[in-house]
Amino acid sequence: MDTTRNYLLIFLIWFFCINSSMAHIILLGPAGGETFVSGEVITISWEEGQTHLPIDFDLSFSSDGGVTWEEIASLNTDRFEYQWIVPDVETEQGKIRVIQDNEDTDYIDISSNFKISRTELVTSVEDPGNPAPSEILSNYPNPFQSVTTIEFTLAHFNHVSLEVYNIQGAKMATLRDEVLSAGKYATSWNATGTPPGLYMVLVRVGTFIETRKLIKLE
């Protein structure tokens, strides 16, 4: 009887430790069950179930149900969401993982499976109360070998950000993050040292969002 009671006590301690650990960091979205499209911009969000003094938050993506993981970003501890470009893969076993990286014990939460398809997506989002730029042009040259230029025209004074992501959704560069007046602009990305392949440039003007594909050659 004493042996059975001891085993039960050990099990209860293990059970509550495991469940309390899971509650330290909570992934809010994606939760699983969603269907996304390659090139779509989604928000990864999380919260702390218990307060710690973390070093950073590490985000990762898996396209095979958690067998392998690719890093998305490491973020400051004052960040609890991240704008992620869905990568150019097709899967029904997509997962997002967030790790609260602490000095001692790290805590993890992982989403359930979600689906990614390669169906064409209209990536422009326009708020009628906040007009979009009059035109965002494709980059040139495209494909390119080392440097490419993105042109855009602003219809009015607004905050603009241009960011480049790889197909895993990891940010490669921030090209602009500033308030600009109306007019035509050109911004170059020097991709020397980055591997060849498909990249996405994410353009935000107010609440307007658009993505364009960049193809880097050898």
CATH classification at residue 196 = 2.60.40.1930
Q: Do 110 and 44 sit in the same domain of this protein?
A: yes
Q: 93 lies in a domain?
A: yes
Residues 14 and 105 grouped into a single domain: yes
Same domain, 8 and 83: yes
In a domain, 126, yes or no: no
CA distance 144 to 13: 58
Task: Examine residue 162 and state whether it is found in any structural domain, yes or no.
Answer: yes
24 and 82 fall within a common domain:
yes
Same domain flag for 170 and 208: yes
Q: Give me the half-sphere count of Cα atoms (radius 13 Å) on the Cβ side of residue 96.
A: 33
Give ∠ CA 192-44-132 in degrees, rounded to 5.
Answer: 70
Parent domain of 153: 135-216
Residue that terminates a domain, selected from 64, 90, 117: 117
> What does the alpha-carbon distance between residue 196 and residue 191 come to, in Å, rounded to a whole number?
9
Per-residue pLDDT of the chain (218 residues; tens, 9 = 90+): 566 666 665 555 454 444 444 468 889 989 888 988 887 788 899 988 777 776 788 999 999 999 999 998 888 777 888 888 888 888 999 999 998 888 778 888 999 999 998 754 444 444 455 455 556 666 888 889 899 998 888 888 788 888 998 877 788 899 998 888 888 888 999 999 999 888 888 888 877 788 888 888 88
The CATH code of the domain that includes 76 is 2.60.40.10
* Total structural domains within the chain: 2
Q: How far apart are the C-alpha atoms of 98 and 60, rounded to whole Å?
A: 7
State pTM to two decimals: 0.54
Helix runs in the chain, H state only: 2-22
